Amino acid sequence: MIEHDYSTIDQRLRRSLLFVITVSFALTPIAAPDFWWQLSRGRVAFSELAPPGPLLTTDTSFAEADWLGGLPFFLTIQFAGVSGLMLIKFIAAGLLAYWILRHFEARLNWTVFTIVVLAFVTANSAWQPTPRLFDCWFLLLTWLFTERWANTLETKKMLPVLLSLLAWANLAPLSLLGMGVVVCVPWLPGIRTETAVLRKQAGLLVLSALFAIMLTPRGWLTPYDSFIQLFPGLFYEQSLLALTVWKPTFLYGATIEVVGLSILTVGMVVYLLVASRGWIESIAFILFAIPAWTNHDCLGPCVTGICLLASQCLSTYPVSFHRLKLTRYVSPLMGRTLLAIGILVLCFKSASGTLPGQPQRLGWGITPELDITLLAQTIGPIDYIGTAHGMNIAATGMLTWIKADRKIRPVRTLRQALLQGKLYEELSLNAELSHGWEFQHPRADNSWGGWWIRLKNRNCQLLLVPNGDAQTIRALVDSRWQPMSIDASVIPFGWAGELLSSPPIVALLPVKDFLNRKQYTYSLPKPSGTPECSDWWGILTGSPYLPPAILQARTLRAMKLYTAALRVLHPLLQYYPSPAVRREFHLCQKELAYQEKLDIGLRDPSYLRSNASYDSASAADDGLIYAGPVIQELVEPRPEPDSLKRAIGYYIRGDWEAALNELTANDSESLYAKAQIQLESGNPDGAKETFRQLVQLYPDDQLANPSQNMLDSLQ
């Protein structure tokens, strides 16, 4: 039997598959939450030639070490726009994977390809125009430069290592990982030189590297700041970190990142137990694996380090699989075919946004969740002076980008709070805003909380809440903070009665009334995307990108604009009934049922709300946290006429036309359901006539009171 030479074909196949993976995972819209914050930092660093932290915030007294982290991205967007950032995102991710593959390919072939693919999909969150991309790249460069130096021990080859670390410390926050590379790489198998000179030279390199990463505005505290960001669990409780980007990776569930990291970890542990011939490999693995598992924020660079370590170890002491005799059962051609099919399926799910941990679809631009246009139109013309509070880094970054004059600034970001030891202060303020703890109250730790005094002491003029944060929005709409926009990616809240915020607050009132009570129907998002984000997957398949619409419905529900929320949900239920859509529909029905119980004054709401709430309960998530009343679930649905039952069935599926055709009876429940569905379908005039008919025919019915209330609100 002649065995074919697949070496050339394999090389081309590996490169082709790697390119496909890079396209499906890296050619997605920019979705990093700190994207606008990094651009703001870059703008300040470019214009002021100074560390941006103290200039962009009011309570940050010291300069950050990675003060140039946003500068390359700012310069790119200035000269090449968003397309330039997308190209950098795609090329940087692809080149990093290709470089590792090429470095070890001659010795490991398909083994290194498998490792690189696992690392690439696991480090998916790092392929964004943020400093985390720099962390991955500088770890690779430091590794390669250190390896080259260790092979020759020439002093002149030490300079690239030091320059790489110097740039790393000023551009990205996790430069301490470079010290681990410098300490471990010269002693790894296949690299180290068995001479007494190596020990002296390695000691000199470590001292020089430590000095290099201290050449930042932060000085000798740079390694300390980097250590905190690598191991925040040593300084803060896990209950706090679980609310931030520094929470453990395994808390994200069975995402592609967790699955990939698990495979890499198990594989390395097995290799170290079976084939390792030294202790330095184990130490290097622990240095990368612990922060990778305990801190999701540093997952990308740590996985890059594990990938390099695994490839280096296997290239020196390879593990043979010949004993398994796989060729008896699977031919080489069949094995390559199956691998290609598996990778294509993985890429298909990634490109469609259905892969756990990869919600973004194939596209170009800035994701709608980070669209800054409507927020800029709302707060841009208002000349605020004071501070603002953003609930997350996305909101804070948008504020600093829009308000370039820095008359209104955030107090601090969560990353600054982490370094300053004030993380609890910021997160507790977020919790108090979300729970509606307006006035002073004792906390569990015997301290006093309440957002009123804290925000007044900060001279806070503006609150910025992400669109879809139902709990916080619900808590604020009943306070003095009122929304100034209803559909921006970040909802701005101003102080009612304050001179600058009152005009946009008042201007929004008729808009809310129009969406909730007037003749209005919601149109599904365009499959092609928005002007800021071209949805390539939507163009190919004709399916729109739904998360912004679901977030909009959630915001409308939180503002108690239930009819407006249901107008958004009905077309989604009819054409794209995802679990998230059905869950939001259930919450709307549940809260409307509670409102009807208050209006009626009896135990049970209308047939429409009680049975729609019960029938949609199977899609509800018991762990979903939302603001509003807690309603006791019905044990079983109430009996209703067959026509009304069929109508409610159509109503739950979003087909309001079929539901209205079934509602031909003139009993009070059928009339009430018909009027509500007419209103939600954008026909307020028909709803008024039906409500009026119900009140006239059944003035003593329990539904007459809520019908009269609805009739009054439609006048």
pLDDT tens for 377-422 read 999 999 999 999 999 999 999 999 999 999 999 999 999 999 999 9
Look at residues 113, 4, 105 and name the one whose alpha carbon lies nearest to residue 333.
4
Q: What is the pLDDT of residues 262-316, one digit of tens each?
A: 999 999 999 999 887 788 999 999 999 999 999 999 999 999 999 999 999 999 8
Can you give the pLDDT at residue 109?
87
b (16+ CB within 10 A) / e for 384-421: beebbbbbbbbbbbbbbbbbeeeebbbbbbbbbbbbee
CA–CA separation, 256 vs 680, rounded Å?
39
Report the run of H or E that residue 364 belongs to, with start and end: strand 363-365
Residue at 363: amino acid letter: G
∠ Cα 257 222 122 (to 5°): 10
Q: How far apart are alpha carbons 264 and 116 in whole angstroms? A: 10
Collapsing DSSP to helix, strand or coil, 482 comes out as: strand
* Residues comprising the chain, all counted: 715
Mean pLDDT across the chain:
89
Span 31-42, pLDDT tens digits: 999 999 999 999
Helix segments in 123-253, DSSP class H: 131-152, 158-171, 176-184, 196-213, 222-230, 238-241
Split at pLDDT 50, 70, 90, the class of 197 is: low
Pairing of strands 386-390, 408-410: parallel
pLDDT score of 321: 59
Instruction: Tell me what pLDDT residue 411 has.
Output: 95
- Using the predicted structure, report yes or no on whether residue 607 has a pLDDT greater than 90: no
Judge whether 416 and 57 are in contact, CB under 8 Å.
yes
Taking the whole predicted model, whether its pTM rises above 0.85 is answered as yes
Look at residue 324 in the predicted model and tell me its pLDDT: 52
Q: CA 44 to CA 47: how far, in whole Å?
A: 5
Quick one: average pLDDT of 432-446? 81
**The token pair that represents 77 in the structure block:** 């967007």
At 277, which amino acid appears?
R
Q: Are 448 and 457 in contact (CB under 8 A)?
A: no
Question: pLDDT tens-digit profile of 557-589?
Answer: 999 999 999 999 999 998 898 889 999 999 999
Query: Given pLDDT bands bounded at 50, 70 and 90, which one contains residue 196?
Result: low
Helix (H) or strand (E) holding 562: helix 562-575
pLDDT at 707: 86
Do the bridges between strand 533-535 and strand 529-530 make them parallel or antiparallel, or are there none, so unpaired? antiparallel
For the cut 80, the answer to whether the pLDDT of residue 162 exceeds it is yes
Domains of the chain plus CATH, in order, are 6-30+64-328 (no CATH), 371-517 (no CATH), 529-714 (1.25.40.10)
pLDDT at 625: 36
Whether 632 contacts 593, CB under 8 Å? no
Angle at 232 between CA 226 and CA 238, to 5 degrees: 170
Q: What angle do CA 38, 40, 46 make, to 5 degrees?
A: 100
Decide: 422 and 60 in contact? Cβ < 8 Å. no
Which tokens in the block code for residue 511?
A: 């808009």
Question: What confidence score (pLDDT) does residue 339 get?
Answer: 86
